């Protein structure tokens, strides 16, 4: 059987990627262990924020790993605001709106004045004049409701163009990508760890089936660390039944062979002291 084509990822602002089809999302999750986060709304649940649907949003580290392994191809969708058509019909400016009558204390509307209905009937209320005044000085924007190439499967000219992935650009970003790739190579599956004050959560398998065992924080190798910060990170991770992992990325050429740009990842694991915890009596002898 032929290998499936690379997953198409739309590049967005903020160095993130969007995946628009269910088949590509399933392949990224089951084959490549890239989880991402659903950010789309479900048509039947427009007023909720608990369950999301497509598109799938990939983090910068996930896109960087996928690009380096050849799992995805990147493209940039056309800007929907580039084709804005303004109303240039020369409609007369709207007249200054009168202040509506205030309701009385009992909540009933104010009784119309004599002849007010006849005056309104003589005007063009509800006609073309009101429509022209409402549309004066307005503009129209085309909002895309689907992935640009969705439909007949053929890409039309201008639907999207391939882009060059420029992330990471700083030392901190390179360290995050190096740690993410190293943990992925070790068989772990990562998601964002922002809920627990960490950079990543590391799972032994799919997050739908496993509990995260590690809260991973990426720290500079030569950074000075305050005891209060270390204690807070450890208490947060241990309170959620996870181990705290401090990861650093150092140049692999520090052994005298020269710096070739490669990074070596080092880890320090902070485990809870079971003897001093409230669960010590449950420890197996």
First to last CA, the chain: 53
Q: Which residues contact 201 (CB under 8 A, 6 or more apart)?
A: 190, 191, 192, 193, 207, 212, 214, 215, 216, 242
List residues with catalytic annotation.
203, 211, 242
């Amino acid at each position: 059987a032929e290998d499936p084509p690379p997953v198409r990822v739309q590049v967005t602002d903020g160095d993130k990627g969007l995946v628009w089809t269910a088949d590509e999302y399933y392949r990224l999750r089951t084959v490549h262990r890239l989880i991402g986060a659903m950010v789309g709304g479900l048509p039947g649940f427009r007023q909720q924020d608990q369950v999301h649907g497509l598109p799938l949003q990939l983090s910068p580290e996930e896109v960087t790993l996928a690009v380096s392994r050849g799992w995805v191809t990147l493209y940039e969708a056309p800007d929907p605001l580039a084709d804005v058509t303004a109303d240039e019909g020369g409609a007369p400016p709207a007249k200054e709106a009168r202040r509506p009558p205030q309701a009385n204390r009992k909540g009933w509307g104010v009784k119309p004045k004599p002849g007010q209905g006849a005056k309104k009937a003589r005007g063009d209320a509800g006609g073309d004049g009101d429509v022209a005044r409402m549309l004066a000085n307005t503009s129209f924007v085309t909002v895309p409701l689907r992935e640009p190439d969705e439909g007949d499967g053929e890409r039309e000219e201008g639907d999207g163009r391939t882009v060059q992935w420029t992330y990471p650009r700083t030392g901190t970003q390179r360290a995050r990508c190096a740690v993410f790739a190293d943990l992925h190579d070790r068989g772990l599956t990562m998601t964002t760890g922002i809920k627990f004050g960490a950079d990543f959560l590391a799972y032994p398998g799919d997050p739908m089936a496993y509990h995260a065992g590690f809260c991973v924080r990426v720290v500079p190798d030569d950074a000075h660390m305050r005891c209060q910060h270390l204690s807070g990170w450890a208490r947060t991770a241990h309170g959620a039944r996870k181990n705290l992992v401090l990861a650093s990325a150092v140049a692999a050429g520090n052994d005298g062979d020269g710096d070739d740009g490669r990074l070596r990842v080092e880890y320090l694991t902070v485990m809870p002291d079971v003897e001093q915890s409230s669960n010590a009596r449950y420890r197996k002898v």
